[in-house]
Amino acid sequence: MKMTPLITSAVMHFGEMGSRWGFNRTVGQILALIVLNDEPISAQEIADALNISRGNTSMGLKELQSWRLIKQHLVPGERKEFFIPAGDIWTLANRVFEERRKREIDPTLSLLRDLLLDEPANGTEVGAQEKLSEIHDLLESITAWSEELQNLGPEKLNTLMKLGSGVGRMLDLKDKILPGKNSVN
């Protein structure tokens, strides 16, 4: 395993950012290493390249598999396991979004649903429930929307993103182009 200066910088940076992205330092480093390597790479090579313990490496690989960001790659005739990214960059980014949605939004949505079922006990609670209901609706929209975007697939998503301010104009025209039965309200 090489680790040229360029790759080292990138790997170290992904380590630092790891915790902000939802995993820890070594998990971030391992992911960067696997993504940037054209070759499949073994757990031992990862541990050596990053100078981390074999145990920590194993935990990290398990974590990345649970996020579905990497997958095993069995080399015929080799006993040990090699690892490669679970897809292209778009796929990986999608998986990160999805996983974070599960951790950051879903639990709150489910609590809010429960809280909104209770009858408000007094005036204070009426006001609070209104706020909670707004938050609930917002989170539901975000969830529905992010599922929608995933279904679009990379190419259309790219078209949409590049559309930029055109989106606003398109929305103004939507009722003209989408027949009534498809309109939302």
Partner DNA sequence: TTAAACTTTCAGTAACTTCTGAAACTTCAA
Partner DNA sequence: TTGAAGTTTCAGAAGTTACTGAAAGTTTAA
Residues at the interface with a second copy (CB under 8 A): 2, 4-7, 9-10, 13-14, 17, 20-21, 35-38, 88-90, 93, 103-104, 107-108, 111-112, 115, 118, 120-122, 124-125, 127-129, 131-132, 134-135, 138, 141-142, 144-145, 148, 151-152, 156, 158-171, 173-174, 176-178, 182, 184
Per CB under 7 A, 129 contacts DNA: no
Q: Which stretch of DSSP H or E encloses residue 13?
A: helix 5-21
Please identify, among the stretches 3-11, 49-57, 132-140, 170-178, the one whose residues bind DNA according to the rule CB under 7 A: 49-57
Per CB under 7 A, 76 contacts DNA: no
Q: Kindly state the tokens that stand for 125.
A: 């609670």
**Residue 20's Cα: distance from chain center in Å?**
12
Per CB under 7 A, 69 contacts DNA: no
The site partner of 59 among a second copy, DNA, none (C-beta below 5 to 8 Å per kind) is: DNA
Residue indicated by tokens 């790997």: 11
**Of 2, 6, 38, 79, which one interacts with DNA (CB under 7 A)?**
79
Q: Contacts for 74-80 with beta carbons within 8 Å, 24 or more apart? A: 75/40, 80/42, 80/43, 80/44
For a second copy, the closer CB: 58 or 127: 127
Phi, psi (rounded to 5 degrees) for 41: -135, 145
Residue indicated by tokens 């429930």: 129
Phi, psi (rounded to 5 degrees) for 135: -65, -45
CB of 65: closest distance to a second copy in angstroms?
20
Q: What is the C-alpha separation between 50 and 141, in angstroms, rounded? A: 41
**Of 9, 53, 141, 158, which one interacts with DNA (CB under 7 A)?**
53
Phi, psi (rounded to 5 degrees) for 70: -130, 160
Per CB under 7 A, 122 contacts DNA: no
SS3 track for 115-126: HHHCCCCCHHHH
The footprint of DNA (CB under 7 A) covers 19, 24-27, 42-44, 51-56, 58-62, 79-81
